[in-house]
Each structure stands twice: as C-alpha cells, then as structure tokens.
Amino acid sequence: MSFFPHSVNVLVIGGGPAGLATAIAARRHGLSVVVADGAIPPIDKACGEGLMPDGVVALHQLGISISTRDAYPFRGIRFLSDGKQAEARFARGAAYGIRRTHLHRLLIDHAAASGVYLLWRTPVAGLHADGPSIGGEMADGALFNGALVGGKLIRARWIVGADGSRSRVRRWAKLDRSTRQADENRNLRYGFRRHYRVAPWTDFVELHWGRRSQIYVTPVSDDEVGVALISSDPKLRLQAALDETIGEFPELRARLANAEISSSERGATTVTRRLRCVYRDRVVLVGDASGGVDAITGEGLCLAFQQAVLLGDCMASGDLARYEKGHRALLRRPTLMAGMMLFLAKHSQARRRTMQVFRSSPHCFAQMLAAHLGQGSAREHISNGISLGWKLLHV
C-alpha cells in the first residue's frame, strides 16, 4: 500500500463511480480525501453503459467532460416491442454510451489529479468507534470516527459508504432499514451484459421489450455495442433470451447473428430501494449504497453523480440533514419513472397501447423523455401526463 494519511476529512469506502465522484466533489471544497476499494482498476461492472444528458451535466459540475474519444454519442431512445418501434430525441444536452472501464479510468485520473489518495486492492473490514462497537456494527450511541482500511485504522470526520447496492457500510451503520423490505425482495431483478464487435446501426439507445425481459442496446464505440438484459428471472441469460426458441427479439438476434462477442458476460442485481435515512452521525451513503432505482431507467450513474455533487457541498458545510433532504428530492422523479416503466414491463396490453400512442404522437414520447430527464417545467409535465392518459384511454 502506498503512502496515505491516517487522519482525513473524508474517508470514502468504495471507489466505483459514486465513490470517486464524491471524492472529487469533496476535494473541490478543499477537504482531504482517501478512497479505499477492494478491487483493482479499471473496475468493470454489469451496466447498460448509457450516460443520459442529466448525468453528463452532473459530471460537468465535477469538472469532467466526456469526449468522443472515450465514448459514443447518442441522441435519443428507441422502444421496440412486438415488431413495432417508436423513438424520441433528447430535447437538449448530450448523451453517451461509455464502457464502464473507460468511465472508471476517467474518474480515477480526475480524482488523482485533484489530490485524492486512492487505495486499490484495499477492502474495508469494518467501522471504528472509540466507544464500544459490536462486530463492526454500530453500538447504540456509539460514534464512528474511522474505519479499518486494509487492516489499518484511518480516522475521518466523514465516512462515506459508496460500496454499492449490497453495501456493508449501510448494515454496519444500521441504515439498512429500507421502507418496505418485502417489496424490495419481490422487486429484485437480475441484469446481464456483454459486448458485441459490430458497428452501431443507430445513434439511439434501443430498449427491446420482451414478455419476460428487456434488453438495452447501447453503442459504445465505432465498432462495439453493449447489450444488457434485465429480468426477474435469475436463470435467464442473454444467450437464452436471444435464442430462436424463445423468439422474443428477432430483430436483435438478426443484428447480432454474425457479430463477434467481445466481452465476457457479467451479472448484477438491481432494485428500486428507498432508505428511511441515508446518514447517521458521521456515516453517510451515496450511489447504489444509498438506495436507487431499477436499472430499466438508465439513471443510476446520473443519480450517483448528482448525489456526489450535493454531498461534497453538505460535508463542507457540515450539514448532512440538507444532504438527506436533497437526496430524497433527487430520487423522486427516477422512482416515479421506474414505477411506470416496470408497469409497462409487466403489462403487455398497456405496453402495446403506449407504443401505439408513442408511434402516432412522437411529441408525447419526446415529452415523456424530457420529464424522465428533469427537462421542462412541472406544468408541461402535468399537461403532457394528462394528454398521454387521455390518448391511452382512446387508442
């Protein structure tokens, strides 16, 4: 392990997108920061790899620009279902398909240049309190003031849990009481992704709707696309979903028939999760560790970056209550959208009607996409919602 201070303002546990973005945000406020991660960079992960315009804006706020050297621009979303398609362009802003490994490298370079101490291959085994602590978990009344990082104690004013969806920091700090645990278990879904060596056939991200699953296709470079499957069935793999016998995605199967597979399959779980609290004393959660929305929204990275910007500010001013409030507000819109999209995933009749409306009124789809990205006014969203509801009733 290289040199690192044993006492800092901020200790970030987890060096994925959320952890690195938080570290960068904290450094922009002049705080000293250590990031520790158990893995070796660049870290890959099952992901649709679509960075929506609101995520690009959040990255800009951290001083990071995406260029076409690292990523492939796309200009909207296309839905494909039952042999029909509908598409909507982004009203404004740039969006990119970017390999997770490239995004990770970009964030690492930026963090290192801004003076973050980065510790890789360094898992964090538990939090530390000067008072009594029980099995790494927070004894009632105890105040954590550090963590065991690669077997050594680092003391910190703030301890940030950025350790992903199955966060141990969340458990150690007893923040894992999500509002509806039974719903969470029922809503758990499984994602698998791999890449194909083929020139993108479109500059839209495609969402292919099937009976049991959805497949995202994201162009990530001039000669590669990422393909990510999401379903409620832990046994359903990409190969099987694309297989002729299931026969759900004939257009996609034809597109990929002769393309070389350019990465191994990776899996991960996804769930819409809301926590009652995202901080306790000095321990605070960010990114997937702090709850999130189903991967079908393509908003996980954006949320992580937006939360990071806010958290950096709140740690600097010592006001985590403000972070909690802002965090709740940031999750509201994506949670609503996740609910709507999962409804469409489950109800084929509603999906068919929605496709019909989107095909006959592309403007309606564009307005929904704008609402999804937080673009436009509340009044426009309400009026579009009413208009969409009316059209759905009358198709």
Helix 362-372, helix 378-394: angle, nearest 10: 140
Q: Using the rule CB under 6 A, is 16 a contact of ligand FAD? A: yes
Q: Which is nearer to ligand FAD, 6 or 363 (CB)?
A: 6
Q: Which is nearer to ligand FAD, 333 or 384 (CB)?
A: 333
Q: Which is nearer to ligand FAD, 146 or 292 (CB)?
A: 292
The interface with ligand FAD within residues 258-317 (CB under 6 A) comprises 268, 270, 287-289, 292, 295, 298-302, 304
What is the DSSP code (8-state) at residue 241?
A: H
Task: Please check whether residue 293 is in contact with residue 331, taking contact to mean a CB–CB distance below 8 angstroms.
Answer: yes
* Paired sense of beta strands 76-81 and 205-209, if any: parallel
Q: Which is nearer to ligand FAD, 161 or 371 (CB)?
A: 161
Q: How far apart are CA 95 and CA 59, in angstroms?
A: 12
Minimum distance, C-beta of residue 172 to ligand FAD, in the bound complex (Å): 9
- DSSP code string of 128-141: EESS--BTTBPPTT
Per DSSP, the three-state class of 196 is strand
Q: Using the rule CB under 6 A, is 344 a contact of ligand FAD? A: no
User: In a 10 Å sphere around its CB, with 0-12 CB exposed, 13-18 middle and 19+ buried, how is residue 348 labelled?
Assistant: middle
Sorted by sequence, the CB contacts under 8 Å of residue 250 that are 6+ apart come out as none
Phi and psi angles of residue 135, each rounded to the nearest 5 degrees, phi first: 50, 40
Task: Please check whether residue 27 is in contact with residue 116, taking contact to mean a CB–CB distance below 8 angstroms.
Answer: yes
Burial readout 216-232 (b: 16 or more C-beta within 10 A, e: otherwise): bbbbbbeebbbbbbbbe
Among 42, 73, 76, 123, the residue binding ligand FAD under the rule CB under 6 A is 123
Q: How far apart are CA 59 and CA 52, in angstroms?
A: 11
Site size toward ligand FAD, by CB under 6 A: 42
3-state secondary structure string across 56-96: HHHHHHCCCCCCCCCCEEECEEEEEECCEEEEEECCCCCEE
Q: Using the rule CB under 6 A, is 164 a contact of ligand FAD? A: yes
Start-to-end CA distance of the chain, whole Å, equals 63
Among 8, 86, 98, 228, the residue binding ligand FAD under the rule CB under 6 A is 228
Q: Using the rule CB under 6 A, is 38 a contact of ligand FAD? A: yes
Among 8, 9, 11, 19, the residue binding ligand FAD under the rule CB under 6 A is 19
Q: Using the rule CB under 6 A, is 236 a contact of ligand FAD? A: no
Among 8, 12, 18, 26, the residue binding ligand FAD under the rule CB under 6 A is 18
Q: Which is nearer to ligand FAD, 112 or 395 (CB)?
A: 112
Q: Using the rule CB under 6 A, is 111 a contact of ligand FAD? A: no
Stretch of residues binding ligand FAD (CB under 6 A), selected from 17-25, 246-254, 321-329, 338-346:
17-25
Minimum distance, C-beta of residue 92 to ligand FAD, in the bound complex (Å): 18
* Segment (H or E) for 11: strand 7-13
Q: Using the rule CB under 6 A, is 334 a contact of ligand FAD? A: no
Among 8, 10, 33, 46, the residue binding ligand FAD under the rule CB under 6 A is 46
Task: Please check whether residue 75 is in contact with residue 203, taking contact to mean a CB–CB distance below 8 angstroms.
Answer: yes
The interface with ligand FAD within residues 165-194 (CB under 6 A) comprises 168, 191, 193
Among 10, 33, 36, 236, the residue binding ligand FAD under the rule CB under 6 A is 36
Q: Using the rule CB under 6 A, is 95 a contact of ligand FAD? A: no
Q: Which is nearer to ligand FAD, 192 or 358 (CB)?
A: 192
Give me the residues that bind ligand FAD (CB under 6 A), please: 13-19, 36-39, 43, 45-50, 55, 123-124, 162-164, 168, 191, 193, 228, 230, 268, 270, 287-289, 292, 295, 298-302, 304
